[in-house]
Structure 1
């Protein structure tokens, strides 16, 4: 693909047919996977300072995920003691919180409660290391669950995250991969939007 072609395609991926920017729901429900893939390949990595101390409402794009109760979720990011003794630096860390799987446009309700959310599925957040096994998107941040201190039976996941728009750190797009016997198997795209601050430090 020529550079001129790539530049011509990039606005199409990030704009609605009417020429407007997509919001969280639009990225979740209206974008094609082709559009999402263009954003993953061309997006910029969020800055650590724009993530740490915040929780983001999340949604997995495949509608079938609602049937298994994981259409909606929350991801949080924090600075704190390393949960793994190894791994790339610099880094921050993060976690997941289950959310009530009601309507897509309903406010995210943390479970079991906002006051006492269940934080699980921890991960280390760092820049992609080029030449490593997990370098599918060198322009992205990598969320590595193997470095989250989740134990032997922790989630076998690697997530890549970019900003949908270079000037908007509040709206993010991600792509999840399963790590199975050393293979990286893509599973789905997901979208994140800044929700609220938190004080969790690990």
Structure 2
């Protein structure tokens, strides 16, 4: 006798359950049910998004002969941070990096910031988590601010600061993206 999903489950719940069930290994003598994979996943796949973001053109470089490269990101100014914390300035997008390896988080974050920059978004929230071991900071919590100083992130990130407590506190960052500049036609 086959067990059927509960009537109250939505398609999204079944999709999530199928993803979890695919990652599990069955017990000895047990097999995966045949109807496990019958629902098509309409949700976007991070690997496809990252590949699409890698194919997308990077922000236009304003560097010409004699010009300086983009400066390293700095701390977010206090009035902007306060407005974000109090909800007077909207956080236009957010990404959660919980449970990812550094390479997965780096690729996802770079793709996310490229898409946000292309859409003209200025303020985003990046959730890194606080770390799982006692007495130490999380790996992503340390790594993400360091990534902002690398050449791939410099043209995108203008400034960043730890988020307010209700937005994740030390496990999240407010990030202000650089403004898009029009490339003058010659």
User: Could you state the TM-score of these two structures normalised by the residue count of structure 1?
Assistant: 0.25
Q: Which has the higher strand share?
A: 1
Larger Rg: 2
User: Could you state the TM-score of these two structures normalised by the residue count of structure 2?
Assistant: 0.26
Q: Which has the higher helix share?
A: 2
